[in-house]
Structure 1
Amino acid sequence: MKIKAIITGATGMVGEGVLLECLGHPDVEQVLVINRKAGGISHPKLREIIHTDFFNLSLIEQQLMGYNACFFCLGISSVGVSKEEYKHITYDLTMHVGQLLAGLNPEMTFCYITGAGTDSSEQGKMAWARVKGATENALMRLFRNAYMFRPGFMKASPGQKNIKSYYKYFAWLYPVGRLVYPAGFCTLKEVGQAMINAAVKGYPKKVLEVKDIVDLAKA
């Protein structure tokens, strides 16, 4: 099975890592990235749409047809934003895009980057975790083939340009953390590989913790 994937958030650290993995993978034959600004990457497989308003995709809707995977890496941190703004971007925006894609491509595999500690019950004390849990649950109702990725600390891939500011200060932790607490550490290469394998082969679990991500990357 060959993959034609849409990637969101490709100008961020996670999305860029997933994009680089897709561009180098033989099972991925076409990639469409939807960015608010130019990503600066050129590749024969890659097509880029610059579009600033993800709540209004009507102008590009026809260009989103014919894809069998979406690797949704767009998101924001809950730090420094209101609960309302965090929900608006994390839940409302994700579901707006998801509902459109589900209508255009009903059999699409939808892989969503969420986070370790997400609250599937939607009843916990942490507001961000409840919102992430609600988003996960809604996506799994919307798509028959939906996989929620909950990575912990992720090691960037060689050649990445979009590195989070804190990463350069904590990158040294990765080899130690992977050794002593493997359940909390993976690489962006593994995340990208696991997403591709989810689209090609599937996986028994719909919610993937770090161990599942690592295992699926090897599949």
Structure 2
Amino acid sequence: MIRIAIASLLLVSGCSTNEVAADNKITQKVVPVDERTIISSPNKYTSLASNLTELENTSPIIVEVAKNGEKQTVIKESEESIMPTEFYTLSSVIIKDIQKDATSSLKVGDKIEIVENVVTDVLIENEKKTLTFDYYKKMDIGKSYYLYLRNSTSGDNYVLTNAFLSKYPVNKEPKHELFLNENGSTHSLENSDYQDLYGDLYTEISQENE
């Protein structure tokens, strides 16, 4: 199970502190200082799968799903607050196939909800922004994904066991479409070892499911 030690949102002219609550529900207090559409924080991980075997072993549930809906949660301390103190998307999915279920509680056709630490079209200073971590891109409605999950301890839903390493499109997508990005990003995951690791895992998972 992933443990996130530090999460900081770095902007052009400053930084702020984020805290990761139970089951990856993320709270943060930040003040935007530039014109980006995507505001992303690079997380610092104390535990993250380094290969496919480890990803599978640390995930009690491995399923193929199709997303059919979502509900965003954005919480601010007050109406006057510029930035949310908490945000996430509950994505509704239908299970199409079960590769692993250590809980013995799921079956094909079940509808479950997945916590994704990203929200879109959040109005901040009269501009619509996307808030995310590590440029994580949430699942698209109508598309299918392989997910590596565990039960949430704070609700009747599921969380990704290894953050962005836990979600892979069933239909092969080009590298530049796997994560959120935009021109001028100062902390693009594409320039990190994590991007290469994700790509390697994606190739292995795609080959396993051919």
Judge same fold: TM > 0.5, yes or no: no
TM-score (norm 2): 0.27
TM-score (norm 1): 0.26
Q: Which has the higher strand share?
A: 2
Q: Which has the higher helix share?
A: 1
